Amino acid sequence: MTRGAVLVLSAATVLCVSPPAAAQTTPDLAAQRAESLRLSGRPWHAAETLLAAAAREPRLNATFIVEGAKAELHARRYDRARSLLVGQPWLEDYAGGEALAVLAEAEARLGLTTAAPHYAAARGRAGGVRAALLAVREGLAWEVAGERDSAAAAYAAARAAGLSSIDPWLRVRQARVTRDTAAAFRLLADLPPAVAREAGAARAQALLAAGDSAAALEALAQAGRSLDVARLARALGDSGRARDALYALMARAPESDDAAAAVGVALAGLGPRTPPEYVAIARAMKSHGGAADARLEVERALRQGDSSAATLVLAGELLAGAGRYRDAERAYRAAARDSALGALAIYRRARILARLGDAGASEALSGFAQSFPADTAAPTALYVLGDMLADRGDWGGAARWFDELIARYPADLRASLARFRLAAQALRDSLRDSASALFRAEVAAAAPQRMSARFWLGKLALLFGDTAGARATWLTLAREDSIGYYGLRARREVDLPPLRFAPAPAPAPSAAIAAALGRVDTLLLAGLDTAAQAEVRTVLGRAAQQELDALLAWSDGLARRGFGPAAVRLGWQAALKAPNDPRVLRAIFPWPNRRAVEAEAAEFRVDPLLLVAIVRQESVFDAEALSPAGARGLAQLLPGTAALTARGLDVIFYPEWITVPDLNLHLGAAHLQELLERFAGRVDAAVAAYNAGTTPVMRWLARPGAEDPDQFIESIPYQETRGYVRSVLRNRELYRALYVVPTN
């Protein structure tokens, strides 16, 4: 559910008075419990609570039914919400249109044309601000139903009711559906910058409402609305222009939301015909979790004779992702002769050969590094070559290539990794002096893992019996890397008290910021989510010019409203002005959904600090987050993992529910508990498996020295996973320092 849908029901609860309930019954108590759960950020739990109570109670009062429908709506079970309310004899008389509003919202989410008249009926029974908000939602529903005049009247009613803070946005909506173009253009005059960006598209819609389709099409093109151009051109029968706009969009911006929508439009009747079109739709599919379909489209382009290096490289990437390594190797080999992409194709082919264990991998990797020494992938090629030989037990051969990597690219991250691999092997061979020299070289080169090297120099000093030296090294590291993973790790080694920060609330927003946040709230309450997001983007665009207190107030306000990534970006901007201010650290590491996280952690007996550390790292508290691999929601669960976990909990689950915040947290906490149990409580291994899966972690735990958590983490071969484990463990300690009040 969008933020706006959640807020509009909250407003309905606040802005109207429910009828007095009879004596408290079991359903009434369940409704109160459900409302408490909803307010604590657990709408799915609220819906489940009410369902369980309904199963026990054959006769339900109106209050219980409405609260149940609201809970189902919050949990995105729109059909259930509607079925609870349709046909109820008290529907139109309940609480000033509240039940009608809930029904209308459910119908709008289901795409039913009855939503608009139900919003209108709810508005007719409401008053004040609530009536104005319902008028906006009514207008949106009329637009979806294609009833432009009714939509225009609803927006005009909303403006007349006094929603002055969002009036520019309402003017844009009204202009879109106004048939009188002169009146529409007057509405679009003198808009503030954040709103003015939408004026071009609104002008086009007004022309369309007036019946001037040709002028509307040109206006959309001038506004850069390629997707709308394609849709309108198709509706006008101009499939050629629609096709051109659609595939140009997917080729130009395959990762955009419009490109994702363009895929659906294309498949609905404008499917690809030429190789460039097949490739364009493949790139858009790949960017939005459709790798398997993308591979099929690229293969069609190849069959039609597209032998360009760009298409072959894309094919190689998709084939490798599907585990078809030999086919991927052939695609890369065919692209290797291209002057622009040849180096990339040669490198990727070498990586594929290494993955296959092919005898030609060594020559391919070393040849690439020799032929393209300035390529950014050259250090990685040398590292992969050394890593491949190390995995075969040929440490002499591995050391040769690692040494060459270090000599040629001393400050590169891969050189750091090579030093640590060589140092780990030296420690296993009891060559402590060699390990120490490697760690000192890392520090001397100011290389990426110098903090890690300093920590390990302390461990080596301890192995040499130099307790004082180890302590001095770790104390310095704890001071200089005070909030970094290794500084926090060193702090524990010298028994310093846990890091603590005094409570540091964000500054109160100024009148201007409070008004702007209120405007965002009103937009969300009115169902204008995209407008609210545009307002937030405007704030981010002005961040560099903001003072510290303004940045912190904005960050806190946006975090509370569900804009986690934007809030954290503003926190990082504040860090440029005051890096040592605890308020800045809270902005970078917010905890906006604390009650829900703590409740889910308690249910599965996992550390809430560990759970929030994972959520912060996975999604930055964005409930709608989507990873390139297809992981979704706060806890970034793959649909298959979510479904399997839900089955194990005997929880009903549908894919569209995966981003319901507390359901996602519920399944994420359960998955974390399962991983902790599988790895006997080892947090480092469980966190690694959360990122990389259990199979590789089992393999890494079988390596010599893996019983030492420090050595296990350093020896994780996946760079992403190694950094992920460090970040999550650091996050946990920072959340402890920022949010846990010490007890005597």
Supply the residues annotated as catalytic.
Answer: 618
d(CA 244, CA 229): 10
d(CA 37, CA 717): 42
d(CA 344, CA 149): 56
Residues 6+ apart with CB under 8 A from 660: 1, 43, 44, 74, 75, 76, 633
Contact assessment for residue 50 and residue 67, using Cβ atoms and an 8 Å cutoff: yes
DSSP state of 590: -
Sign of CA dihedral 432, 433, 438, 443: positive
Contact assessment for residue 324 and residue 343, using Cβ atoms and an 8 Å cutoff: no
Q: What are phi and psi of 649, to 5 degrees?
A: -95, 0
d(CA 710, CA 357): 30
d(CA 85, CA 68): 10
Q: What angle do CA 430, 436, 442 make, to 5 degrees?
A: 135
- The DSSP string of 621-678 is T-TT-B-TT--BTTTTB-HHHHHHHHHHTT----GGGTT-HHHHHHHHHHHHHHHHHH
Contact assessment for residue 282 and residue 294, using Cβ atoms and an 8 Å cutoff: yes
Q: How far lies 32's CA from each of 7, 41, 85, 171, in Å?
A: 18, 15, 19, 40
d(CA 400, CA 394): 10
Residues in the chain: 744
Q: What angle do CA 89, 94, 97 make, to 5 degrees?
A: 115
Q: In 75-113, where does DSSP find H-type helix?
A: 78-85, 98-110
Q: How far lies 723's CA from each of 415, 417, 484, 718, 734, in Å?
A: 16, 12, 12, 9, 16
d(CA 296, CA 117): 44
d(CA 280, CA 278): 6
Structure tokens at 686: 């469980």
The residues that bridge with 626 in the sheet, in sequence order, are: 632
Centre a 10 Å sphere on the Cβ of residue 1 and count the other Cβ atoms it contains. 18
Contact assessment for residue 316 and residue 335, using Cβ atoms and an 8 Å cutoff: yes
d(CA 532, CA 289): 26
Centre a 10 Å sphere on the Cβ of residue 531 and count the other Cβ atoms it contains. 25
Contact assessment for residue 420 and residue 434, using Cβ atoms and an 8 Å cutoff: no
Centre a 10 Å sphere on the Cβ of residue 581 and count the other Cβ atoms it contains. 16
Q: How far lies 394's CA from each of 202, 385, 433, 712, in Å?
A: 66, 11, 22, 21
Instruction: Please name the amino acid found at residue 236.
Output: L
Ramachandran area for residue 606 (φ above 0: left; ψ -120 to 50: alpha; else beta):
beta
